[in-house]
Amino acid sequence: MSHYSRLAATAIDVPAADHERELAFWQAACGQPLEQDAQLPEYHGANWPGHDLLLLVQRLGSGQARVHLDIRTDDIEAEVTRLEKLGARRVQRVDYWWVLQDPAGLPFCVVPAPPGSLTDDNAQRWD
C-alpha cells in the first residue's frame, strides 16, 4: 500500500539549562516568536516565513545539544520500515512517533501527519 512522507521540521535540541537563551536566540534570528506547543510544552516552534518547514527548539531532559530532522508521514509503520531498509535503526517509540538513527548514528524522528494533509503536491508518494 502506498504512503506519503516529507521533510517537516528542523529541531534544535537543547539542554534545559540553555533552553531560554537558545530560544531567545532563534526567535531573534528568525524575526518571529516560536510559540510553545500546548500539548508538548518542551517544544517551541513556528514555520519559517515563506516556507512550510517548521523550526523547533526542544528542551531536553538530558543529553547534549544537537539538531535533528523530522519526517512527517501518513503511515508511521510503513515509513519507518522503508527507512530501516535504507539503513536506519529504530531507537525508541515516543508517544505516537518514532526516534530513529541514520546509518551514521544521527537521530531523527518520524512523526504522523494530519489525515489528508500529504498529497502529490507537497510530499513524496512511496509505492
Fold of 3-126: 2,3-Dihydroxybiphenyl 1,2-Dioxygenase; domain 1 (3.10.180)
Give the domain ranges of the chain. 3-126
Q: How far apart are CA 122 and CA 53, in angstroms?
A: 11
Does the reported pTM lie above 0.75? yes
User: Which residues face 112 on adjacent strands?
Assistant: 73
Q: How far apart are CA 68 and CA 50, in angstroms?
A: 21
pLDDT digits (tens, 9 = 90+) for 9-58: 999 999 999 999 999 999 999 899 999 999 989 999 998 777 889 999 99
Q: Is 91 helix (H, G, I), strand (E, B) or coil?
A: strand
pLDDT at 50: 78
By the 8 A CB rule, do 30 and 48 touch? yes
pLDDT digits (tens, 9 = 90+) for 67-82: 999 999 999 999 999 9
Grid cell listed for 43: 517544544
By the 8 A CB rule, do 65 and 15 touch? yes
Q: How far apart are CA 22 and CA 93, in angstroms?
A: 26
